[in-house]
Amino acid sequence: MTLTAARAPLRRGRTCGAYADVRDHSRRLAEPLSDADATVQSMPDASPAKWHLAHTTWFFETMILKPHLPGYREFSPVFGYLFNSYYETLGARHPRPKRGMLTRPALDEIMAYRAHVDEAMERLLSGDPSAEVETLAELGRHHEQQHQELLLTDILHLFAQSPVRPAYREAGPALASEGAAPEAAWLGFEGGVVEIGHDGDGFAYDCEGPRHRALIEPFRIADRLVTNGEWLAFMADGGYRSPLLWLADGWAQVGAEGWSAPLHWEQTDGVWRVMTLNGLQPVDPDAPVAHVSYFEADAFAAWSDKRLPTEQEWEHAVRVSGAEPPVDVGDPLARLRPRPAGEGAGLKQAFGEVWQWTRSPFSPYPRFRPAPGAVGEYNGKFMCGPFVLRGSSLATPPGHARASYRNFFLPDKRWQFSGLRLAEDA
Amino acid sequence: MTLTAARAPLRRGRTCGAYADVRDHSRRLAEPLSDADATVQSMPDASPAKWHLAHTTWFFETMILKPHLPGYREFSPVFGYLFNSYYETLGARHPRPKRGMLTRPALDEIMAYRAHVDEAMERLLSGDPSAEVETLAELGRHHEQQHQELLLTDILHLFAQSPVRPAYREAGPALASEGAAPEAAWLGFEGGVVEIGHDGDGFAYDCEGPRHRALIEPFRIADRLVTNGEWLAFMADGGYRSPLLWLADGWAQVGAEGWSAPLHWEQTDGVWRVMTLNGLQPVDPDAPVAHVSYFEADAFAAWSDKRLPTEQEWEHAVRVSGAEPPVDVGDPLARLRPRPAGEGAGLKQAFGEVWQWTRSPFSPYPRFRPAPGAVGEYNGKFMCGPFVLRGSSLATPPGHARASYRNFFLPDKRWQFSGLRLAEDA
Amino acid sequence: MTLTAARAPLRRGRTCGAYADVRDHSRRLAEPLSDADATVQSMPDASPAKWHLAHTTWFFETMILKPHLPGYREFSPVFGYLFNSYYETLGARHPRPKRGMLTRPALDEIMAYRAHVDEAMERLLSGDPSAEVETLAELGRHHEQQHQELLLTDILHLFAQSPVRPAYREAGPALASEGAAPEAAWLGFEGGVVEIGHDGDGFAYDCEGPRHRALIEPFRIADRLVTNGEWLAFMADGGYRSPLLWLADGWAQVGAEGWSAPLHWEQTDGVWRVMTLNGLQPVDPDAPVAHVSYFEADAFAAWSDKRLPTEQEWEHAVRVSGAEPPVDVGDPLARLRPRPAGEGAGLKQAFGEVWQWTRSPFSPYPRFRPAPGAVGEYNGKFMCGPFVLRGSSLATPPGHARASYRNFFLPDKRWQFSGLRLAEDA
Amino acid sequence: MTLTAARAPLRRGRTCGAYADVRDHSRRLAEPLSDADATVQSMPDASPAKWHLAHTTWFFETMILKPHLPGYREFSPVFGYLFNSYYETLGARHPRPKRGMLTRPALDEIMAYRAHVDEAMERLLSGDPSAEVETLAELGRHHEQQHQELLLTDILHLFAQSPVRPAYREAGPALASEGAAPEAAWLGFEGGVVEIGHDGDGFAYDCEGPRHRALIEPFRIADRLVTNGEWLAFMADGGYRSPLLWLADGWAQVGAEGWSAPLHWEQTDGVWRVMTLNGLQPVDPDAPVAHVSYFEADAFAAWSDKRLPTEQEWEHAVRVSGAEPPVDVGDPLARLRPRPAGEGAGLKQAFGEVWQWTRSPFSPYPRFRPAPGAVGEYNGKFMCGPFVLRGSSLATPPGHARASYRNFFLPDKRWQFSGLRLAEDA
């Protein structure tokens, strides 16, 4: 694999450099993985690491190289079938629940596919790419960054299925506290008609716009995330056994799945541990709780006599308080690390620790219309069922977070780094 | 059964009369049913007619008579277990999917249960009932009215399972046109901050409030419902075979269930027929389409290059245009009949024909808080998954419809009288 | 219903009388049932009573009247679709799991269907019926008798689903002991080549022949059935918690279904009761255990350090010891009653109490070939999966039992009156 | 991996050499596999290759080394949990459907586990092992051979799931004809009381005994296997669309799974191909059909107006005609190759091509009793549901086949090398 050599010339232009950075980040994420680690699919919701690495590459090949690089030679005719995710526009595809059957092509061959596409992308980007290519390349980079986070959450889920509890890495960013969590402070906001959505500066997904006015009632929001210690109190108070705290579907799920703690938690000899990318670790009572579903977050809020914020409240509070996503500092492990709690005026832990469930179903903003063609199949077709999460997590790659970002998952899902922040009416 | 005699004295007071009217309406709805018709459960979503008749009675017995009528003698100790629907507060209950196993108690005994409760309610209401009792009795009446509509949709679903296609009644209200449907006119609204929700005059469910301000963008809404003829055009144009028109979950459902037409439609020798309460009838191209899911309504709107209205847009348009629910004219069959199309300024067919899907997920209004105790388990716990339908249908009992009413069903459900009205951005 | 009058002339001939007796027995079995009781299907394995009553009638209409009675007028064209059970030869049919959706036709109409067919059968049988008609009528009678037993077991299963635990009848044949069960005696047999199968005298199903030689090794068989008291000892000794006693599939079933006692047993305040046709009754320790699956019977035998007999051993032991099925004594309730234990030389309780699981899979006898046409679809197509039960039960109608009878059910089924008798190698 | 070196001393004794041969054969089978190939589980019925390699090793470690080799050091305490298959006696175990989640331990580590156990086994066997150890070692070898065949069928199933259709090996034993298949000849046998079961000379599984007498009626059996060409004729004649040919459960399976050809067959541009260990190959009309279920074999026999043989008929015919299993000729690929058709008097293709379905359910022989303890959990607990297959296949390792061998699979399974030979009554 001579990916490093092949990538050197990419540094020339800005787009070229950004492309190389993102692609390189994926490569680094794959380094700790064996071929087998990268192949297995632990559940239909998750995808194999190899699939993430190939699918993001297929996106560049299909959306950019084939239509825009004359003479481009397709790496393999079968890859279009194997690595299309869900684009009905782009033909038949391998069924999602069978992604884990693909022991061949091996990880090596996927890395060769990546090098092949990188070489062609370099040629295209280091020339004088059209605005359309620039735009598609930007979309492709952000698309790959999304999959970088999923690669990590999916690997964590896979490793959590193994009784030997493998660690993805020996050390790295973790949801660890630096001392006792302070009491939560309640930040008040007046409400009124505010601007919501992406403001047109820099990249954003289609669903983050159009920017529009929203009416917000006065509210208060906690300046920090809910902690593991608070979650343990909820558990100790019978939170998982009190139907009145739960949405009806949530309570049914508690029963069907036997939920009694967040995902990846296990209790041995009275001690709670949680499976992390660094292996099985004691639950840190001062760190933010992660791996809870919307159902659990909502029940916890009811138990606290609070509620979850709407996504508009969250976005407004973040903008007003000036909370900022983490900045890339060059070191691939360090840059994943969240800023120390306490930094930023007012609202803390907005980014870089855990995604925060809001009470907002994932719905189109006023005047939203999906783009025509394949790229329009991006977000709109999922606007039924999921709830919006805001912020970012320790697994979000550098440069991917922003205040208008709308992550979304179904309310019963727990394998993401998903936590919560409380709110209330003022 | 001496229900009529027993009910006579109820006429004394206003509450008393309203109670008797509602209870009598249920009795009439059950008249065409055999014991067997009233016993069978055609799917887990539906309940047996007998169960509706008993559950609504149990509500009065449990919420009002037991706590408020001294010396009240419970009809049967096992009925609490059998006829609780989903109130976790009120103890264990018979599993919903097994409601159809209850061949005993027979319909006769359920009617005796109704008479027993009616007699006690009469005593309570014809005395000097407390404000709390009045309030609970009002809730109980509206609760029973909801089940009156469900009784009809559930019976229709049951009869549609039978190859002999029984008619519930020989003649009665139907979704029939009176001549060719006119071209849809598009009513424009300016938007702005408007008042939404129940205004406090008369009864409303908890979820219809609190009344609050909402910001609406300029929009247009069709003055009439989508017709069967328009739906046939959608079908003929490959609507059910075009994945790009559909939400992802909707498209999966189309494949899994083999949808190719609304529920209860069947084609024989090239002719489309639809199963109705009056038996199998030819599809009337000028009547509003019914028995479509949210998924289908949304796909139809995409095919039409329009969208569904939000529930705020719908409510605002109805209030501004002065559309009114049907009035009770005393004749139990006539009063179910919708007003002639064309009546009312501007927005037609808002009430009395089919419920209209909106694009709004069923979410709490700002500052909504469920009531404490069992009555608080009414709507809030379902605020995850369903979409809101507005208006009312030909199966909605007289006096039950209003502009602020929020009906809600999961997006794949089709057995209600659910149709649609289109909207677009202005 | 004037079935009695219509039936009077049937008494003329022998076939005629036999036909009338069987048909009348079904009518009596239906007497305690309401329309709703007769309509509901409690699980896919069971059928509604109404369906049994109609399907057996459809058999006579389809196999005999249509081809053999000139001018016969079909009762209803849709009944062929509704009441065909599984005959692929005879066209499309209503899906088995939806038999409970047929609230119409009502029980009354089914009884009218029976009268219509009875009247025609009378005309045919009281004339000079051909040998083929006589043969088919005999098959139809035995077919109806099979369904008479199923009608009872299916009704018992339905009533057991209802929390009110209705009794099918106030009093009637029951699995009750007449004093303490004696110690089991072990009857020894020498083995050798013996004759097995129906000997051609009187009616038998196709699968009971051809009569053939079988080689049996020396064995011993218990002279009586396993009792509830013995089963309670098995339970107390952890029988349902000891995987090594069970077949692998049986143990999986124990876990999946949470088995800890026979079907229809429930424990309240430390007392075991069993749901019977006479309602909920205390478990009688001296009566034979019923409602156990093959898996349970096999595990019990392992726990007892014995085994189940093969069907050849059972048949041989019954023939040699001269055990006889109960005789019809005219009184419909009395004739169902088993002979007092102790009667008959040697082998007791072979008939009239519970069917007895054997260790023999239901396989074809040597040289067995199904008959051509629809009647050939009778037993052969089920020869994969079920195990054979021998004897008869308290629900078997008079005249239906014989030594060569091969009843068969899948090894996890428990809703029949199925028990066991132990055997061992000599 | 220095397995070869470690194994050299094993050659000393006979047991030692046999042990080394079997272990070496497994190692060779794993050679073409990547870590990922060896990790993925393609369906719950199949196991990962890595699991087969580890489980067979665990068997030696658990049954022999721990109890019989003083001072033996367990390789890993977690392996007992991971690699127990189904022995209830031996404690909790990793759930079978999750065997594919174990990306760690990697294939390398499994091979190290094998070397660790081999080294210890060598020490034990090259000493003066007790008779018990010799017996257990023999059982362990045959157990491993069983898994060698499963490893191949499971890998074939996995590779068949991949759209790239990988070949396990470039060349190797295949079901290929050497010229046109001759007409089948029918060999006649007189029947009578014959001896069946293992005769005590050499190794056999518990279920192959006790040797006992069986009564066989006169029959004829085809001298060769059913071919692909004959199967194509069955397909062309509507075999998969004719319900009357099928057992009831078989016909249900045809509908549920959409069967229209054997497993692993696919048709492209009118040409039938079959996925094999050598990759996708044209269907050879003269080679024996493989990958058919019992249901299909039975339906084919009905279509042919024949039947499947009983296992007793098969064994008797093989013994009388002197058909012999293939002999090991030292070359690991060659020795898997079946003897040329035509060799052996009378009955051809009894061994080394495809297993042959019999009509016999897998039941205990007379006087069969499972051994006490863990080794007794071997076969007896599966004696409910499966049917017996006789002979051996091209995937059966050398030295593993014998005339008394009873292979068994559920009647719907098709992923083994399973075919058929016809029989009929004489």
- Decide: helix, strand or coil at residue D360: strand
Q: How many CB pairs under 8 A join A and D?
A: 88
Q: Quick one: tokens of A252?
A: 């049914």
Average pLDDT, chain D: 91
Residues D116-123 have a mean pLDDT of 97
Share above pLDDT 90 across residues of chain C, in percent, rounded to a whole number: 80
What pLDDT, on a 0 to 100 scale, did the predictor assign at position D85?
82
Model pLDDT for residues C246-303, shown as the tens digit of each residue: 999 999 999 999 999 999 999 999 999 999 999 999 999 999 999 999 999 999 999 9
More confident: B345 or C77 = C77
In chain B, the N- to C-terminal Cα span, in Å, equals 58
Share above pLDDT 70 across residues of chain D, in percent, rounded to a whole number: 92
Q: For B183, phi and psi rounded to 5 degrees?
A: -55, 145
C381 contacts D246? CB cut-off 8 A: yes
Distance CA C264, CA C414 (A): 9
What pLDDT, on a 0 to 100 scale, did the predictor assign at position A328?
57
Instruction: Find the chain D residues whose C-beta atoms sit closer than 8 A to any C-beta of A.
Output: 34-40, 42, 78, 81-82, 94, 98, 100-107, 158-159, 161-164, 166
Model pLDDT for residues A368-415, shown as the tens digit of each residue: 998 777 777 778 899 999 999 999 999 999 899 999 999 999 999 999
Q: Tell me the pLDDT band of D123, cut-offs 50, 70 and 90.
A: very high
Model pLDDT for residues A112-155, shown as the tens digit of each residue: 999 999 999 999 999 999 999 999 999 999 999 999 999 999 99
What pLDDT, on a 0 to 100 scale, did the predictor assign at position D9?
39
Residues A263-290 have a mean pLDDT of 96
Model pLDDT for residues A265-275, shown as the tens digit of each residue: 999 999 999 99
Residues of chain B with pLDDT under 70: 1-14, 327-345
Q: For B193, phi and psi rounded to 5 degrees?
A: -85, 120
Share above pLDDT 70 across residues of chain A, in percent, rounded to a whole number: 92
Q: How many CA atoms lie within 13 A of D407 on its CB side?
A: 31
Dihedral angle of Cα B145, B147, B148, B149, to the nearest 10 degrees: 100
Query: Closest chain A residue to D36 measured between Cα atoms?
Result: A36
Distance CA A286, CA C365 (A): 73
Distance CA C243, CA B204 (A): 58
Question: How close D268 comes to chain A (CA, Å)?
Answer: 16
- Decide: helix, strand or coil at residue C268: strand
- Decide: helix, strand or coil at residue A275: strand
Question: How close A40 comes to chain D (CA, Å)?
Answer: 6
Of the partner residues B102, B106, B161, the one whose CB lies closest to the CB of residue C98:
B161
What pLDDT, on a 0 to 100 scale, did the predictor assign at position D328?
57
> Which residues lie across from D265 on neighbouring strands?
D274
Share above pLDDT 90 across residues of chain A, in percent, rounded to a whole number: 80
Model pLDDT for residues B45-74, shown as the tens digit of each residue: 999 999 999 999 999 999 999 999 999 999
Model pLDDT for residues A295-353, shown as the tens digit of each residue: 999 999 999 999 999 999 999 999 999 988 876 544 444 434 444 444 445 899 999 99
Residues D87-100 have a mean pLDDT of 85
Average pLDDT, chain B: 91
Query: Closest chain C residue to D374 measured between Cα atoms?
Result: C244
Q: Tell me the pLDDT band of C3, cut-offs 50, 70 and 90.
A: very low
What pLDDT, on a 0 to 100 scale, did the predictor assign at position A334?
45
Of the partner residues B86, B89, B366, the one whose CB lies closest to the CB of residue A217:
B366
What pLDDT, on a 0 to 100 scale, did the predictor assign at position C60?
97
Residues D170-179 have a mean pLDDT of 83
The single-letter code of the amino acid at C350 is A
Give, in order, the Cα–Cα distances in Å from B376 to each of B380, B383, B405, B406, D209: 7, 13, 17, 16, 69
Q: How many CA atoms lie within 13 A of C145 on its CB side?
A: 24
Pairing of strands C387-390, C418-419: unpaired
* Mutation target vs A (from D104, D155, D156; most A CBs, 10 A cutoff): D104
> Which residues lie across from B390 on neighbouring strands?
B356
Sign of the C-alpha dihedral, residues B393, B394, B397, B401? positive
Q: For C264, phi and psi rounded to 5 degrees?
A: 75, 0
Q: Quick one: tokens of C291?
A: 């409602």
Contact C137, C19 (CB under 8 A): yes
> Which residues lie across from B274 on neighbouring strands?
B265, B281
Model pLDDT for residues B213-257, shown as the tens digit of each residue: 999 999 999 999 999 999 999 999 999 999 999 999 999 999 999
What pLDDT, on a 0 to 100 scale, did the predictor assign at position D335?
37
- What is the radius of gyration, based on Cα positions, of chain D? 22
* Mutation target vs A (from B312, B357, B378, B381; most A CBs, 10 A cutoff): B381
Q: How many CB pairs under 8 A join A and B?
A: 76
Average pLDDT, chain C: 91
Exposed (0-12), middle (13-18) or buried (19+): which is D217, by Cβ within 10 Å? middle
Residues C10-21 have a mean pLDDT of 73
- Those residues whose C-beta lies under 8 Å from the C-beta of residue C294, and which sit 6 or more positions away, are C250, C357, C387, C409, C410, C411, C412, C413, D384
Residues C44-50 have a mean pLDDT of 97
What pLDDT, on a 0 to 100 scale, did the predictor assign at position B15?
72
Contact C259, C296 (CB under 8 A): yes
Chains A and B touch (3+ CB pairs under 8 A): yes
Q: How many CB pairs under 8 A join B and C?
A: 86
Distance CA B72, CA C162 (A): 26
Task: Reply yes or no on whether the pLDDT at A172 is more than 90.
Answer: no
Distance CA C186, CA B361 (A): 72
Distance CA C229, CA C300 (A): 13
Distance CA B222, CA C400 (A): 70
Contact D147, D52 (CB under 8 A): yes
- Which chain A residues have a beta carbon less than 8 Å from that of D166? 103-104
List, in sequence order, every beta strand (DSSP E) within C207-349.
212-216, 219-222, 265-268, 271-276, 279-282
- Which chain C residues have a beta carbon less than 8 Å from that of D247? 381-384
Task: Reply yes or no on whether the pLDDT at A33 is more than 80.
Answer: yes
Model pLDDT for residues C323-363, shown as the tens digit of each residue: 888 765 444 444 344 444 444 459 999 999 999 999 999 99
Model pLDDT for residues D43-77, shown as the tens digit of each residue: 999 999 999 999 999 999 999 999 999 999 999 99
Q: Quick one: tokens of D283?
A: 């269907």
Distance CA D281, CA D275 (A): 6
Q: How far is CA D219 from the centre of its chain?
A: 27
H/E stretch holding B356 reads strand B355-361
Model pLDDT for residues C135-190, shown as the tens digit of each residue: 999 999 999 999 999 999 999 999 999 999 999 998 888 888 888 999 999 999 99
Contact B124, B73 (CB under 8 A): no
- Which chain A residues have a beta carbon less than 8 Å from that of B249? 384-385
Question: How close B273 comes to chain A (CA, Å)?
Answer: 31
Residues C120-149 have a mean pLDDT of 96
Chains B and D touch (3+ CB pairs under 8 A): no
Of the partner residues B244, B360, B384, the one whose CB lies closest to the CB of residue A88:
B244
Distance CA A58, CA A102 (A): 16
What pLDDT, on a 0 to 100 scale, did the predictor assign at position D26?
97
Task: Reply yes or no on whether the pLDDT at A107 is more than 50.
Answer: yes
- Those residues whose C-beta lies under 8 Å from the C-beta of residue B53, and which sit 6 or more positions away, are B26, B30, B38, B107, B110, B111, B114, B151
- Which chain A residues have a beta carbon less than 8 Å from that of B192? none
- Those residues whose C-beta lies under 8 Å from the C-beta of residue A16, and which sit 6 or more positions away, are A9, A10, A122, A125, A126
- Decide: helix, strand or coil at residue B275: strand
Distance CA C313, CA C189 (A): 9
What pLDDT, on a 0 to 100 scale, did the predictor assign at position A177?
83
Model pLDDT for residues A211-235, shown as the tens digit of each residue: 999 999 999 999 999 999 999 999 9
- Those residues whose C-beta lies under 8 Å from the C-beta of residue B68, and which sit 6 or more positions away, are B124, B129, B130, B132, B133, B136
Of the partner residues A217, A294, A366, the one whose CB lies closest to the CB of residue B217:
A366
What pLDDT, on a 0 to 100 scale, did the predictor assign at position A339?
46
